[in-house]
Amino acid sequence: MSKYIPFSEMEAAETDPVIWRVNLPEYVPANEIGINLRRLGRLARLSGFESLRVASYDGEVTKLAPGIDSVGQDGSATASMPSAVSKAETSRQSIHGQTAPELPLSIEDYTWTNGALLLNTSEIDGRVGQKGNVRDANVWAKELNAALTKGMRAMVAKNLIERPSMFHKITAPLPLAASLIVIDAQYVNDFSAQTLIELGLIGIPLLHTMFEPAYEMIVHKFPPNKRRWSLVPGVQLDRVLAVNSLSRISPLVKHLEQRR
C-alpha cells in the first residue's frame, strides 16, 4: 500500500496530530497528487506540535512587471522576461500555546503547542501557470511540496527558536561554546578562574536540564508525558535540525503515476 494518499481523498482527513483542510482548484487533477500524511505528522511532532492544522487560503499573488531588454533609437523597447515587483509567500504560519497560565515560563517553553500552516493556493496556482499547464499534476505536486516543506521549516523555527524565553535562548549555546574552548594542560595543576568559567558554561545549563524536569514534577505537578523532551538545553536545536534534514530527504507531496 502506498504511503501517499491522493488529494482527492483528503478533503477532511485527520491523522494525529495533523488536521488536513486543503482545497485545490477544481481543474487540478487531485487524484494524481499524493500526500504522505504520516511523514507530515512525524515532522509536526518533531516540531513540538500537539496538533497541526494544514489548510488553504486565497492570498496575495506575485505581481510581475514587463522587463525591458533594450531601447531602440526610435524609442521602441524590446521586451524581455517579466520581473517580480512584489513576491508573495506560498504559506503563512501561526502558533498557539497550550500551557495553562499558572505554569511558569520555563515549563511553557517545553510544552506541546498547537499550530496552523496555511497554504496560499492562489500563489501556488500562479507559479504552476508560469511553468506550464495549470492542469499539470506533476508541476502542482512539486510546487505544493515546496510550499509545505518550506512552511514546516518556518514552523519549527517559530516554535522552537523564536518562541522560547530569553533565558533559554541565552543558555542554549553555552555548552557548545564552552566545548569549543581548548583547555590547556596547565589548568589541571592550576585551577584558574578561567577554568571555573568554562566548567560553569558547560555545567550550569546541563544541570538545569537535568533537574528542571524533577522540579516541575514535584513542585508544579507537571507530568513528564506532557513535556517536550530534547537532548539540548534551552532552545531545542536537535529537533530543529531533525526537521530541516528530514524535510529534504524525501518529498511530502509527489505526483502519483496513473495506471493505464
Q: Do residues 195 and 105 share a domain? A: no
Q: Do residues 176 and 65 share a domain? A: no
What integer best gives the mean pLDDT of the chain?
Answer: 77
Q: Do residues 49 and 124 share a domain? A: yes
d(C-alpha 125, C-alpha 24), whole Å: 9
More confident of the two residues 254 and 82:
254
pLDDT tier at 173, thresholds 50, 70, 90:
low
Q: For residue 131, what are the domain limits?
A: 5-163+238-255
Residues 6+ apart with CB under 8 A from 62: 84, 86, 87, 88, 123, 126, 127
Q: Do residues 159 and 221 share a domain? A: no
Cell of residue 119, nine digits: 497554504
More confident of the two residues 260 and 243:
243
Q: What is the pLDDT of residues 190-241, one digit of tens each?
A: 555 555 555 555 555 555 555 565 555 555 555 656 667 777 766 888 899 9
Q: What is the pLDDT of residues 9-22, one digit of tens each?
A: 987 677 889 999 99
Q: How many helices (H) and strands (E) does the chain have?
A: 9, 10
Q: Do residues 64 and 190 share a domain? A: no
Domain count, the chain: 2
Does the residue 260 lie in any domain?
no
Note the pTM of the prediction, 2 decimals.
0.76
- Containing H/E element for 249? helix 237-249
Does the residue 230 lie in any domain?
no
Q: With contact defined as beta carbons under 8 Å apart, do 20 and 54 qualify?
A: yes
Q: Do residues 250 and 122 share a domain? A: yes
For residue 253, what pLDDT is reported?
Answer: 97
For residue 117, what pLDDT is reported?
Answer: 97
How many C-alpha atoms does 61 have within 13 Å on its Cβ side?
14
For residue 77, what pLDDT is reported?
Answer: 45
Q: Do residues 36 and 136 share a domain? A: yes
Cell of residue 168, nine digits: 533559554
Q: What is the pLDDT of residues 72-119, one digit of tens each?
A: 555 454 555 555 567 899 999 999 875 544 555 556 667 788 999 999
Does the residue 249 lie in any domain?
yes
Does the residue 187 lie in any domain?
yes
Closest Cα partner for 142 from 102, 74, 90?
90
Strand partners, 120: 57
